[in-house]
Structure 1
Amino acid sequence: MSAVIFIPARYASTRYPGKPLVELTGATGEAKSLIQRSWEAAKAVKGADAVYVLTDDSRIAEAARGFGADVLMTSEHARNGTERCAEGVAQLQHTPDCVVNLQGDAPLTPAWFVEALIERMADPAVRMATPILRCDAETLTNFVTDRQNGRVGGTTAVARADGTALYFSKEVLPFVGSLETPPEVWHHVGVYAYRPEALEAYMSWPEGPLEKAEGLEQLRFLENGVPVTCVPVEGKGRVFWELNNPVDVARIEGVLAKEGIA
């Protein structure tokens, strides 16, 4: 099965403008941009035939080409990374069996998360899939702390017994009454895999009310009756966190130092 990884990146983030070019210091003291670290995470994935940065911004494109990335320019009209991926597929000479969207704000994504996703897409019945990670105590505390302080942090997922998604939210679901005895909470990992046909269908649907309210692109699939397959993955001791707000820089740099990631 052929698979291509796209890394959508835009400069005009509402919560954190210029986020892809924010520098993160690694364990050796070397600073690299967020988009470079996300690209390096994608390049470590086995089973991907190519990796492209997708952007509509010349500053991001120039920076990406500077560290060796292949870049595809997309339109300013793309409202989210999934729409940007659909535009990227249209520019490829050969259509892959599977398109992976590794968002440009997730440099801590372990290769095995994406590899598990590609493996799950080998089932022809799966139209779209995304990884979920059971929250450890540190991650759950970060979630709850962000919401208590009015920050929108990561995303949680609630799944059916058959592994398909019931809902995704920027709220902490289910409700956490106490961090001492919390329920099982699943962190949605910011990676998606799609069939090219699913991306084509996505572009034909309008933005739905739930997608608009939550700011979560994957909800458009659920709102249009397309199952989203959740793929449970193991952290193996690695703390996973996206860069959503300026406060996350220190959190991610702490993980880079702890894991010895240069």
Structure 2
Amino acid sequence: MEKKLIAIVPAAGIGARAAGPGAPLPLPKQYRPLKGEPMLRRAVKALLGEPRIGQVRVAVAPGDAWVEAALSGLSRTVWSACGGPSRADTVRAAIEDAGLGPGDWVLVHDAARPGLPAEALARLIDQCLALDAGGLLALPVADTVKRAAAAGPQAASGGAAAPRVGESVPRDGLWLAQTPQMFPAGPLLDALRRAAAESAEITDEASALERLGVRPLLVPGSARNFKVTWPEDFDLMEKWL
């Protein structure tokens, strides 16, 4: 039997940083419009452009009031209110909800990365299938990296002082992780379950597998595939779309 390839989009959070410090959040970040369409819809449509993806499954928070309208009319797309308190919880629940075989492939993609280019997505799938190995889109670090020193004294005005440089970090071999991240469903689900049982901090799917000794492929991504995080990112993303 041919292995299935599905995409999961965890969309149970609200993205508070996108509102700016102290600003109210009118609706969760993933539903804010970009050129007239909710960001979540654009992220899902980027995945649907790849014919090898049999289905896109969107995992939202219980009581989500926006997802049905945001995804209306999209083919090969379903949504489920199985979202949990963290990204790892949501992805784990979404894989369980999908009822996949252990050898089926899962691509996990951020709802806040609507600029995913078709060629980058195809490159990830091609590499993972050809080498029968999980991997993720990523970009080599181009800028000089600084690690901040421990917090210093308060500024004379009473406000917090700007942090000071503790050291420069060599950027050789450093990559910035993107999504999608593509892995066989069985090993990914096992890694997420074990991380939850051990209360391990998981920031992305690759990190869950890395804890178990897996070394995922680093597949070159795209600058267009950046994550919309801060208020100014919405304007920048609209320029790319």
TM-score, structure 2 normalization: 0.71
- What CA distance in whole angstroms lies between the structure 2 residues aligned with 1:14 and 1:217? 22
Distance verdict in 2 for CA 1:228–1:60, change over 3 Å = farther
Letter aligned with residue 131 of structure 1? L
Range with greater deviation from structure 2 (94-103 or 82-91): 82-91
| Displacement after TM superposition at 1:193 (Å) | 0.6
Does the alignment pair 1:222 with 2:210? yes
Whichever residue aligns with residue 14 of structure 2, its letter is A
Do the aligned residues in 2 keep the contact of 1:98 with 1:118 (CA within 8 Å)? no
Pair 1:68-2:82 in alignment: no
Question: Aligned to 1:105, what secondary structure does the other structure show?
Answer: coil
Residue 132 (structure 1) aligns with? 138
TM-score in terms of structure 1 length: 0.66
Q: Distance in 2 between matches of 1:94 and 1:76?
A: 18
CA RMSD of aligned residues (A): 3.2
CA distance in 1, matches of 2:56, 2:205: 21
Equivalent position to 2:186, from 197, 219, 222: 197
Name the SS of the counterpart of 2:208 in structure 1: helix
Decide whether the 8 Å contact of 2:15 with 2:229 is kept in 1: no
8 Å CA contact 2:5–2:107 kept in 1: the answer is yes
**1:47 equivalenced with 2:41 (yes/no):** no
Instruction: Give unpaired runs (5+ residues) of structure 2.
Output: 19-24, 149-167
- Kindly tell me the number of residue pairs found equivalent between the two proteins: 207
Moved over 6 A (4+): none
Equivalent residue in structure 1 for 2:11, among 9, 12, 17: 9
Deviations 1:14-59 (A, max 9, x none): 423511111112xxxxx11110110111111232112222212422
The residue number in structure 2 matching 1:231 is 219
Stretches of structure 1 lacking an aligned partner (at least 5 in a row)? 26-30, 148-173, 177-181, 257-262
Residue 37 of structure 2 corresponds to residue 32 of structure 1:
yes
The alignment-based identity, stated in percent, is: 16
Shift in Å, 1:61: 2.4
Could you say if the C-alpha distance between residues 94 and 210 of structure 1 is closer, same or farther in structure 2, counting changes exceeding 3 Å? closer
- Structure showing greater radius of gyration is 2
Structure 1 pair 135–129 and aligned structure 2 pair: CA distance change class (3 A) = same
1:170-217 deviation digits (Å, cap 9, x = unpaired): xxxx837xxxxx8686332221111111122123223578836xx445
Residues 241 and 100 of structure 1: CA distance in aligned 2, closer, same or farther (over 3 Å): same
